[in-house]
Structure 1
Amino acid sequence: MTKRNNASPDKELSPEQREELLRVLKARFEENMHRHKGLEWAKVRAKLEAQPEKLWSLNEMERTGGEPDVVCRDERTGEYIFCDCSAESPRGRRSVCYDREAQEARKKHKPENNAMDMATAMGIELLTEEQYRALQKLESFDTKTSSWVQTPPDIRKLGGALFCDRRYGHVFVYHNGASSYYSSRGFRGSLRV
């Protein structure tokens, strides 16, 4: 009996799609060694090939303009952490409010989607404020756009949500109503492999 992976059929890439994605990820990895000093592509690839559902999620990150790349390795778990490394908030994930509750609360001009549901559907997580700040130490991101980040429950309970960007050489954290959305605000995600 053949062992079947946990990926559902609609969340599997064809062999051609897998190879093309791995080619793109390898090229990005090699062009940006400052993001993952001391890590080896062969080891990252082996982890990816053992978890096809993670390749599907990375493909979704790529498809929506995130340009995912390895940013570190969790020494405790041995997992590699991929983050969206596009210069600006991923184009295919902008104009979204924070979560479904905020989306449904809008009376007029509802956005088509929300950051939390999109991330869940893609199999990724929104960056935390801490992860966002760590990413910004690698290079400058979101100098013209902004990105929703995971919001603490006490802030969300009061109707707010947090987002970040980089301006004037500094990373800023702001708040907004969770139901707000702008063409220049999206979200960045992370994936553990």
Structure 2
Amino acid sequence: MSPSRRRVLRMGSVALAGSLAGCASGALDAEESDGSGATAAADSTTTAEPTTHGLGADRSLPDGETTFPEGPKSPPERPPDLTAESVREYVNTFERRWVYNRLYRGESTEVHRECGVDSVAEYGEGFRVVVRCSAWANSGAGETTIHADYFTQYATYFVGPNSTVRRDGQSKAR
């Protein structure tokens, strides 16, 4: 690289750093722009508003209740005391039965499931639980068999004192 090119790059980076330093230092807070590029002095009674605000994570549980799919399995009993372990077992059973009912197509259905809990975390007044499940089912009688694959899918449960809410997919912690 030629010396003149290095000098131009160095001067450009110094100019950029200088312009950013004015913004970061708050020097522009004392002036207001009129939109034409010119600046006017700020009224002395004006107080500078912060440009950033603290972000608190919303830890409230979603409203609602999960509608369980029709089928031979019923939803499990909610645990009387919500602990990480009791919620883990409850949600794992809930998801296994949920998937079974989704794949069940009558008496001639064979359903195989592999489900597990990926994470359990306290969430507001309850828990946020991420589960994964893969399954397959064969339905039919005699010579005709219909095979269905339920490739690994995730669900996120929010279990509160009075509710269980299921969401498809793996939600991000808020």
TM-score (norm 2): 0.21
Q: Which has the higher helix share?
A: 1
Which has more radius of gyration?
2
TM-score (norm 1): 0.20
Q: Which has the higher strand share?
A: 2
Report which structure shows greater RCO (CA 8 Å, sep ≥6). Answer: 1
